[in-house]
Amino acid sequence: MEYNFREIEKKWQQRWVENKTYRVTEDESKKKFYVLNMFPYPSGAGLHVGHPLGYIASDIYARYKRLQGFNVLNPMGYDAYGLPAEQYAIQTGQHPAITTVNNINRYREQLDKIGFCFDWDREVRTCEPGYYHWTQWAFQQMFNSFYCNTCSSAQPISKLIEHFAQKGTEGLDVACSEELSFTAGEWNAKSEKEQQEILMNYRIAYLGETMVNWCPQLGTVLANDEVVDGVSERGGFPVVQKKMRQWCLRVSAYAQRLLEGLDTVDWTDSLKETQRNWIGRSEGTEVQFKVKDSDIEFTIFTTRADTMFGVTFMVLAPESELVAQLTTPEQKEEVDAYLDRTKKRTERERIADRRVTGVFSGSYAVNPFTGDAVPVWISDYVLAGYGTGAIMAVPAHDSRDYAFAKHFNLPIVPLVEGCDVSEESFDAKEGIVCNSPRKDVTPYCDLSLNGLTIKEAIAATKEYVKAHNLGRVKVNYRLRDAIFSRQRYWGEPFPVYYKDGMP
pLDDT by residue for the chain (503 residues), tens digit each?
Answer: 789 998 999 999 999 999 999 999 999 999 999 999 999 999 878 888 888 899 999 999 999 999 999 999 999 999 999 888 888 888 889 999 999 999 999 999 999 999 999 999 999 999 999 999 999 999 999 999 999 999 999 999 999 999 999 999 999 999 999 889 999 999 999 999 999 999 999 999 999 988 888 888 888 888 887 888 888 888 899 998 888 888 999 999 999 999 999 999 999 999 999 999 999 999 999 999 999 999 999 999 999 999 999 999 999 999 898 999 999 999 999 999 999 988 878 777 777 778 899 999 999 999 999 999 999 999 999 987 666 789 999 999 999 999 999 999 999 999 999 999 999 999 988 999 999 987 777 777 888 999 999 999 999 999 999 999 999 998 989 898 998 866 678 888 899 999 999 99
Q: At what angle do helices 50-67 and 96-114 cross, to 10 degrees?
A: 50
**How far is Cα 403 from Cα 406, in angstroms, rounded to an integer?**
5
pLDDT score at 29: 96
Identify how many contiguous H helices and E strands the chain contains and give both numbers.
Answer: 15, 19
Instruction: Please state the pTM of the whole predicted model.
Output: 0.81
Going by C-beta distance under 8 Å and a sequence separation of 6 or more, which residues neighbour residue 151? none
Residue 58 in 3-state DSSP? helix
pLDDT score at 386: 66
With vertex at residue 290, the alpha carbon angle to CA 284 and CA 291, rounded to the nearest 5 degrees, is 130
Q: What is the dihedral of CA 363, 368, 371, 374, to 10 degrees?
A: -30
Give domain status of residue 173, yes or no.
no
Residue 311 in 3-state DSSP? coil
Cβ 484 vs Cβ 247: under 8 Å? yes
Give the other-Cβ count within 10 Å of 324's Cβ: 11
Residue-number span of the structural domain to which 312 is assigned: 284-477
CATH of the domain at 376: 3.90.740.10
Count of structural domains within the chain: 2
Report in angstroms the alpha-carbon separations of 394 from 271, 272, 284. 32, 31, 15
Give domain status of residue 437, yes or no.
yes
Cβ 71 vs Cβ 13: under 8 Å? no
Going by C-beta distance under 8 Å and a sequence separation of 6 or more, which residues neighbour residue 399? 424, 425, 427
Boundary of a domain, candidates 108, 127, 146:
127
Give domain status of residue 170, yes or no.
no
Give domain status of residue 496, yes or no.
no
Give domain status of residue 11, yes or no.
yes
Boundary of a domain, candidates 62, 92, 127:
127
**How far is Cα 160 from Cα 150, in angstroms, rounded to an integer?**
13
CATH of the domain at 82: 3.40.50.620
Give domain status of residue 192, yes or no.
no
Boundary of a domain, candidates 127, 155, 179:
127
Give domain status of residue 108, yes or no.
yes
Give domain status of residue 248, yes or no.
no
